[in-house]
Amino acid sequence: MRAQLTHSDDITTLLCDSLVIPFFKDLTLNADSRSINKATGKQLSRLLASDDFSGQLGQTTLLLLPNGIKAQRILLWGLGDKDKLSRQSWSRAADSLAATLNQQKIKHAAILGSLKLPSAVASAWSFQQLVSRINRSSYRYSTTKASVKAKQSTLAKISIVNAKNTTANKRAIKAGIAIGKGINTARELGNLPGNICTPKYLSSEARKLGRQHAGIKTTVLGEKQMKLLEMGSLLSVGHGSVEESQFIIMNYQGGKKSQQPHVLVGKGITFDSGGISLKPGAKMDEMKFDMCGAASVIGTMSAIAEMKLPINVVAVIAAAENMPSSRATKPGDVVTSMSGKTIEVLNTDAEGRLVLCDALTYVERFKPVSVVDIATLTGACIMALGHHATGLLSNNQDLAENLLKAGQDSADRAWQLPLWDEYQKQMESPFADLGNIGAGGAGTITAACFLSQFATKYPWAHLDIAGTAWNQGGGKGASGRPVAMLCQYLMNRSEQ
Ligand code: BES
Ligand code: MN
Ligand code: ZN
Q: Where are the domains of the chain?
A: 2-162, 183-494
Catalytic residues: 279, 353
Is residue 188 within 6 Å of ligand 1 at its C-beta? no
**Best of 270, 344, 349, 464 for a ligand 1 pocket test (most atoms within 8 Å of beta carbon):** 349
Percent of the chain exceeding pLDDT 70 equals 100
Q: How confident is the model over 341-384, as pLDDT tens digits?
A: 999 999 999 999 999 999 999 999 999 999 999 999 999 999 99
376 lines ligand 1 (CB under 6 A): yes
Judge if the upstream peptide bond of residue 459 is cis by omega within 30 degrees of 0. no
Mean pLDDT of all residues belonging to the chain? 97
Q: Which CATH number fits domain 183-494: 3.40.1360.10, 3.40.50.970, 3.40.50.300, 3.40.630.10?
A: 3.40.630.10
Please determine, for residue 103, whether its predicted confidence score (pLDDT) is greater than 90: yes
pLDDT value of position 496: 75
Asked if the domains 2-162 and 183-494 are classified in one and the same CATH topology, the answer is no
**Dist. CA 22 → ligand 3 center (Å):** 43
CB contact burial 54-91 (16+ within 10 A = b; e otherwise):
ebebbbbbebeebeebebbbbbbbbbbeeeebebebbb
Instruction: Return the sign of the alpha-carbon dihedral for residues 264, 319, 349, 388.
Output: positive
Q: What backbone torsions phi and psi does residue 267 show, to the nearest 5 degrees?
A: -75, 125
What's domain 2-162's architecture?
3-Layer(aba) Sandwich (3.40)
The yes-or-no verdict on residue 151 having pLDDT over 90 is: no
Cα 423 to middle of ligand 2, angstroms:
21
**Cα 274 to averaged position of ligand 2 atoms, centre (Å):** 5
Q: Verify whether ligand 1 is closer than 6 Å to residue 352 (CB atom).
A: yes
Residue 282: pLDDT over 80: yes
Q: Which of 278, 348, 378 to mutate to test the pocket of ligand 1 (most atoms within 8 A of CB)?
A: 378
**What per-residue confidence (pLDDT) applies to 149?**
73
